[in-house]
Amino acid sequence: MDKIDFFQLRLQNIEFLSSRVYEGIEILLVLDGEIVVEMEGGFFHLKEKDLLVINRNQLYQVRAVKNNAVLTLSIPDTFITKYYEEYRHYHFHLFSQQIDRGKENIIVQMRKSLSELLITYFRQEEGCKLEAHILICKILLTLILRFRGVRKNFEEINDNDQRLAEIISYLKQHYDEPITLDDVAKHFYLSPSYFSRYLKQHLGIGFSRFLMNIRLNHSLKDLLYTQDSITYISIKNGFPNTKSFTSLFKEVYGETPHSFREKNRKDQVNLVKDYQLQDTETFLNSPEVIMKLGVLLSEGDSKTSFGNSETYFEELKIDLSAANSKLLIHPNNILSIGELRELQKENVRTQVILAKKGLNIKYIGINKLLSGGTISPAVETDELIPTTSPYYNSDEVIQFVKTNDLSLFIQVNYKGISSNEDAYLQKLEHFLRHCLQVFGEKYVSSWYFVYLTNDVSLDSKSLERFYLSLHKLLKTMIPSIQVGVLLPFSIHTGSTDDNHRWVLYKEEQIDFIAFKASPTEIVNFKEIIDNNYLLAKDYIRKKTDQLKHYLKSHSIEKPLHLLTWSSFSGNTRYTNGTFFRGSLILNDAITVAEDVKSLGFWINTEIHERDVGAKNIPLEGMELFHYFTGKRPAYYAISFFNRLQGKVIARGDYYLMMENERGYQIVLMNNHIVNPYFSIEESFLQKLIKEVRVTIRGIPKGEYQIRKFVFDQDHGALYKNWWENNSKFGMDEEIIDYITHSSQPSLEVFDEMINEEWSFYSYLTINAIHFFELRKVFI
Could you tell me what percent of the chain has a pLDDT over 70?
A: 83
Distance (Å, whole) CA 726 – CA 733: 12
Segment among 35-39, 326-330, 379-383 with least mean pLDDT: 379-383
The pLDDT tens digits for 74-83 are: 999 889 888 8
Cα Rg, the chain, nearest whole Å: 35
Phi and psi angles of residue 292, each rounded to the nearest 5 degrees, phi first: -65, -40
Helix axes 162-174, 207-225, angle to 10 degrees: 40
Identify the pLDDT of residue 152: 47
CATH fold of 2-151+279-300 reads Jelly Rolls (2.60.120)
Indicate the SS3 state at residue 190. coil
Indicate the SS3 state at residue 495. strand
499 DSSP 8-state letter: G
Instruction: pLDDT band for 433, please (50, 70, 90 cuts).
Output: very high
Phi and psi angles of residue 612, each rounded to the nearest 5 degrees, phi first: -105, 0
The pLDDT tens digits for 153-175 are: 434 444 456 788 788 888 888 88
CB neighbour list of residue 703: distance below 8 Å, 6 or more residues apart:
751, 752, 753, 754, 776, 777, 779
Instruction: pLDDT band for 417, please (50, 70, 90 cuts).
Output: confident
- Is the pLDDT at 60 greater than 50? The verdict is yes
Distance (Å, whole) CA 245 – CA 231: 9
Q: What is the mean pLDDT of the chain?
A: 83
Identify the pLDDT of residue 686: 66
**CATH architecture for the domain at 310-328+644-779:** Sandwich (2.60)
Ordered DSSP codes for 278-303: T-HHHHHT-HHHHHHHHHHHHH--TT
Identify the pLDDT of residue 422: 92
Distance (Å, whole) CA 602 – CA 258: 84
Identify the pLDDT of residue 729: 76
Distance (Å, whole) CA 585 – CA 565: 10
Distance (Å, whole) CA 753 – CA 742: 32
Indicate the SS3 state at residue 358. helix
Of 461, 445, 514, whose CA–CA distance to 485 is shortest? 514
**CATH architecture for the domain at 162-264:** Orthogonal Bundle (1.10)
Of 445, 371, 444, whose CA–CA distance to 413 is shortest? 371
Of 643, 641, 645, whose CA–CA distance to 658 is shortest? 645
Segment among 418-422, 445-449, 500-504, 739-743 with least mean pLDDT: 739-743
Q: What average pLDDT does range 674-698 have in this prediction?
A: 74
189 DSSP 8-state letter: T
CB 510 within 8 A of CB 561: no
Environment class of residue 88 by beta-carbon count within 10 Å: exposed (0-12), middle (13-18) or buried (19+)?
middle
**CATH architecture for the domain at 333-641:** Alpha-Beta Barrel (3.20)
The pLDDT tens digits for 737-774 are: 877 788 889 999 999 999 888 999 898 988 999 999 99
- Is the pLDDT at 626 greater than 50? The verdict is yes
The pLDDT tens digits for 235-264 are: 888 888 888 888 888 887 778 888 888 777
Identify the pLDDT of residue 294: 75
CB 734 within 8 A of CB 632: no
Domains of the chain, residue spans: 2-151+279-300, 162-264, 310-328+644-779, 333-641
Distance (Å, whole) CA 47 – CA 32: 7
- Is the pLDDT at 203 greater than 90? The verdict is no
Distance (Å) of CA 33 to CA 54, 70, 72: 19, 8, 15
- Is the pLDDT at 281 greater than 50? The verdict is no
345 DSSP 8-state letter: S
Identify the pLDDT of residue 156: 43
Environment class of residue 43 by beta-carbon count within 10 Å: exposed (0-12), middle (13-18) or buried (19+)?
exposed
Identify the pLDDT of residue 456: 61
Identify the pLDDT of residue 154: 39
Identify the pLDDT of residue 299: 78
- Is the pLDDT at 305 greater than 60? The verdict is no
Q: Give just the sign of the alpha carbon dihedral 131, 134, 138, 144.
A: positive
- Is the pLDDT at 533 greater than 50? The verdict is yes
Q: Give just the sign of the alpha carbon dihedral 654, 659, 662, 663.
A: positive
End-to-end alpha-carbon separation of the chain, Å? 53
